[in-house]
Amino acid sequence: MVCPRCQSQLAPGVKFCAACGAPVQGGPPHPPQGTAYGPTGGYAPPNQYEEYTNSMFGNAVPKGELHNPKGPLQIGDMTISIDGELVPVVDIMLGNQMPIYFEHHILLWKHPGVQLGFKSLQGAARRFFAGLQVFITEAQGPGNIAFSRDSVGQIVALRLQHGQTVEVREHQFLVATGNVDYNFTFVQGAANILFSRTGMFIDQFTAVNGEGLLLLHGYGNVFEKTLAPGEALDIEPGAWLWKDPSVQMTTTTVAGSQRGGGILGAIGGFIAGSSFLLNRFIGPGRIGIQSMTYHPPQAEGAQQAGGQSNTNINLGDLFS
């Protein structure tokens, strides 16, 4: 078996040439008989395109793939697989057409044929003065590339339809396809900035040219809640992962999160393990929740274990 581009000898069954990165005829193996196919024709795991029944979404938005999607995800000319359990790995077979971009410091391996460069972001001046990254890394195929965050958790795959936006906690996005716009929005309200453990900014991702794919890393296990209009849910600070823009975020005290109870109710909340302040999310829309509360990145060698009290505020962290 030889490479059609450079004529190098190839091992049986490979998908890309190890010398030049050219795709080898044959491509990925066919999915098992009876499996489902998505709207682009690629293999889709069961329920990946299940509709949101009896909800505001109808069939316009596919359900998010939580808990490390088990089957290959096909979008454009790339195939994405999630491998591993405790510390999952996003393994991507890139084609020649659609690039991807990714968060810094998460690259695990790549084929020599995959080209890395920089993707400039919109609003570079605003991002610079806000202290956010102005450039992120972009990868162009063909070839294989993989990513992993150094923490126990699960991968969430969100398929974004054209024009659809989701908002994500900073430093928890892994990879996005090149047709997904990456922007940011300011957190509204001083209480949210000081006590929500979110900081001053929230990442925004919008599909701008057809269907796009966004992959997130959630700490621990990840769950999704759908809130009706006006419905509220109080969540431990640091536990929210992503949300629809229609979901409002505020803060409340543990005493204010109950119907009465006064000081005894607040003490009961503390005994239950609650923080003094909680994030309150008000629908309509979806919200993703992680079972391990998020801890901002720290310098190497810094203490990592233990919870973080949101009553002890390090103002420097707000602007890091």
pLDDT attached to residue 197? 54
CB 282 within 8 A of CB 231: yes
Q: Is residue 226 part of a domain?
A: yes
pLDDT attached to residue 200? 65
* CATH number assigned to the domain comprising residue 247: 3.60.160.10
Closest C-alpha to 177, from 160, 165, 164? 160
Q: Which two tokens stand for residue 162?
A: 């054209």
The residue assigned the tokens 């759908």 is 226
Count of CB atoms situated within 10 Å of the CB of 247: 21
Tell me the residue type at 98. Answer: M
CA-CA distance, 309 to 276, in Å (whole number)? 9
pLDDT attached to residue 281? 93
Structural domains of the chain, count: 1
Q: Is residue 136 part of a domain?
A: yes
Q: Is residue 6 part of a domain?
A: no
CA-CA distance, 74 to 41, in Å (whole number)? 8
CA-CA distance, 197 to 208, in Å (whole number)? 30
Q: Is residue 127 part of a domain?
A: yes
CB 270 within 8 A of CB 254: yes
Domain of 82 in residue numbering reads as 54-294
Tell me the residue type at 118. Answer: F
Q: Is residue 73 part of a domain?
A: yes
CA-CA distance, 152 to 217, in Å (whole number)? 9
23 HSE (CA, 13 A, CB side): 14
Phi first, then psi: give them for residue 278, nearest 5 degrees. -125, 155
* Residue ranges for the chain with pLDDT beneath 50: 27-49, 190-195, 260, 269, 271, 273, 300-320
Q: Is residue 49 part of a domain?
A: no
pLDDT attached to residue 184? 82
For 144, the 3-state DSSP assignment is: strand
pLDDT attached to residue 7? 73
CA-CA distance, 89 to 84, in Å (whole number)? 6
195 contacts: CB under 8 Å, gap ≥ 6 = 237, 251, 277, 310, 313
Q: Is residue 241 part of a domain?
A: yes
pLDDT attached to residue 303? 45
Q: Is residue 37 part of a domain?
A: no
